[in-house]
Amino acid sequence: MNFLEEKILQDGVIKEGNILKVDSFLNHQIDIDIMRQMAYEFKRRFRGIEVNKVLTIEASGIAIATLLGNLYDVPVVFAKKSETANSTDDKYVAKAYSFTHKKMNNVFVSKPYLNATDKVLIVDDFLADGEAAHALIDLIHQAGATVAGIGIAIEKGQQKGGATLRGEGYRVESIAIVESMDWQTQTIKFREQKALPIQNPNLHI
């Protein structure tokens, strides 16, 4: 059991309707220790992969994206969900349904902030049906840029997002994958994750 699975068991709350509430440490109050550890864990899992930009979507992905950008020392971009008065820039626009807010959102990035040479690591706090991730991929492709990988804090393994994205050939690394949960008994089961292959040619095990 890794640090995030342990934290979810300790402080997460399961609610009716397949909802895992983690706002005491992930998306309202931020446990900075857990966030830092996530950034290091993503960097470890994506080792050997070139990343020159981190992309997330406002608002709750911004904290982990910032610490990851800090670790890689690359710019962070957060896709926006609403127009602001002071932006008349040309934008890449994609659509994503938000289950949290139960509505279709326009998601956009101003064109200057995604370029054809970018190798973009997508990060977000949750992956469920993959709506947000697919919108971000769409924005990256519109810019002619490359998806370096997708880093997720908590994947809901019973929903289709993870399987779809992996089926499309994307490298998805989720620190915790919830296989099943039951709000009545407050129990939760995580998918076991295989260790990454060790790339030491001298080591035979």
Interface residue with a copy of itself among 50, 75, 144, 186 (CB under 8 A) is 75
Parallel, antiparallel, or unpaired: how do β-strands 76-79 and 53-57 relate?
parallel
Interface residue with a copy of itself among 37, 52, 106, 110 (CB under 8 A) is 110
Piece of 93-101, 116-124, 135-143, 170-178 that binds a copy of itself (CB under 8 A)? 93-101
- Residue 117 identity: T
Three-class DSSP category at 190: strand
Q: Give residues 10-69 in contact with a copy of itself (rule: CB under 8 A).
A: 15, 17, 19, 21, 23-24, 28-33, 35-36, 58-59, 62-63, 65-67, 69
Number of residues that bind a copy of itself (CB under 8 A): 43
> Considering the rule CB under 8 A, would residue 103 count as an interface residue with a copy of itself?
no
DSSP string, 120-187: EEEEEEEESSSHHHHHHHHHHHHTT-EEEEEEEEEEETTSSHHHHHHHTT--EEEEEEEEEEETTTTE
Three-class DSSP category at 54: strand
> Considering the rule CB under 8 A, would residue 99 count as an interface residue with a copy of itself?
yes
166: tokens are 């992996």
Helices 32-45 and 62-72 cross at an angle (nearest 10°) of: 60
Give least dist CB 66 to a copy of itself, A. Answer: 4
Q: Give residues 145-204 in contact with a copy of itself (rule: CB under 8 A).
A: none
Interface residue with a copy of itself among 10, 47, 84, 192 (CB under 8 A) is 84
- For residues 204 and 149, give the distance between their C-alpha atoms in angstroms, rounded to a whole number: 29
Interface ranges with a copy of itself (CB under 8 A):
15, 17, 19, 21, 23-24, 28-33, 35-36, 58-59, 62-63, 65-67, 69-70, 73-78, 80, 82, 84-87, 99-102, 109-110, 112-113
